[in-house]
Structure 1
Amino acid sequence: MELDDAYANVPYIPGGAQYPARWTVAAEAFRAKLSAERRAELGLAYGEGARQAFDLFHPKGAARGLCVFVHGGYWLRFDRSLWSHLAAGPLARGWAVAMPSYDLCPEVRIADITRQIARALCVLAARHEGPLALVGHSAGGHLVARMAVPGVLPGDVAARLSHVMPISPVSDLRPLLETSMNEHFRLDRATAEAESPALMRPLSVPVTVWVGSDERPVFLDQARWLAEAWNAGHEIAAGRHHFDVIEALTDANSRMVSQLLG
Structure 2
Amino acid sequence: MIVETRIENWDDAYANGAHIEGAADYPPRWQRLAAAFRADHGARAETDIAYGSAPRQRFDLFRPVGAARGLVVFIHGGYWRAFDKSLWSHLAAGPLARDWAVAMPSYTLAPDAKIAEIAVEIAAAIAAAAGKVEGPVRLTGHSAGGHLAARMICADQPLPAAVSARIARVVSIAGVHDLRPLIRTAINDDLRLDAEEAAAASPALRTPAPGARLLTWVGGNERPEFRRQSALLANIWAGLGAATAAHEMPGKHHFDVIDDLADPESDLVAELLA
The TM-score with structure 1 as length reference comes to 0.97
Q: 1:161 aligns to what?
A: 167
Secondary structure of residue in 1 paired with 2:213: coil
Taking the aligned partners of 1:260 and 1:166, their CA distance within structure 2 comes to 10
Q: Please tell me whether residue 70 in structure 1 is matched to residue 75 in structure 2.
A: yes
Secondary structure of residue in 2 paired with 1:98: strand
Secondary structure of residue in 2 paired with 1:112: helix
1:114 to 116, 119, 126: 119
* Higher deviation after alignment, 26-35 or 147-156: 147-156
Taking the aligned partners of 1:125 and 1:28, their CA distance within structure 2 comes to 24
Q: What's the Cα RMSD here?
A: 1.0
Q: Please tell me whether residue 188 in structure 1 is matched to residue 200 in structure 2.
A: no
Letter paired with 1:182? N
Q: 2:259 aligns to what?
A: 247
Letter paired with 1:99? M
Deviation at 1:201, TM superposition (A): 1.4
Q: 1:174 aligns to what?
A: 180
Taking the aligned partners of 2:34 and 2:253, their CA distance within structure 1 comes to 20
Q: Which runs of 4+ in 1 moved over 2 A?
A: none
Aligned residues: 260
Taking the aligned partners of 2:153 and 2:97, their CA distance within structure 1 comes to 26
1:139 to 141, 144, 158: 144
What 5-or-longer segments of structure 2 have no aligned partner? 1-7, 239-243
Letter paired with 1:183? D
Deviation at 1:228, TM superposition (A): 0.5
1:207 to 201, 211, 214: 214
Contact 1:43 1:55 in 2 (8 A): yes
Contact 1:65 1:95 in 2 (8 A): yes
Superposition map of 1:40-51 within 5 A: 40-51=45-56
Note the alpha carbon deviations across 1:195-242, whole angstroms, 9 max, x for none: 000111112122100000000011011101111011211011000000
Secondary structure of residue in 2 paired with 1:25: helix
Taking the aligned partners of 1:235 and 1:11, their CA distance within structure 2 comes to 24
Contact 1:162 1:206 in 2 (8 A): yes
Q: 2:224 aligns to what?
A: 217
1:234 to 222, 239, 246: 246
Deviation at 1:151, TM superposition (A): 3.0
Deviation at 1:156, TM superposition (A): 1.1
Contact 1:65 1:132 in 2 (8 A): yes
The TM-score with structure 2 as length reference comes to 0.93
Letter paired with 2:272? L
Letter paired with 2:258? I
Q: 1:257 aligns to what?
A: 269
Taking the aligned partners of 1:235 and 1:135, their CA distance within structure 2 comes to 14
Taking the aligned partners of 2:156 and 2:41, their CA distance within structure 1 comes to 35
Letter paired with 1:49? A
Letter paired with 2:55? A
What 5-or-longer segments of structure 1 have no aligned partner? none
Taking the aligned partners of 2:44 and 2:134, their CA distance within structure 1 comes to 18
Q: 2:97 aligns to what?
A: 92
Q: 2:22 aligns to what?
A: 15
Deviation at 1:2, TM superposition (A): 4.0
Identity among equivalent positions (%) equals 54
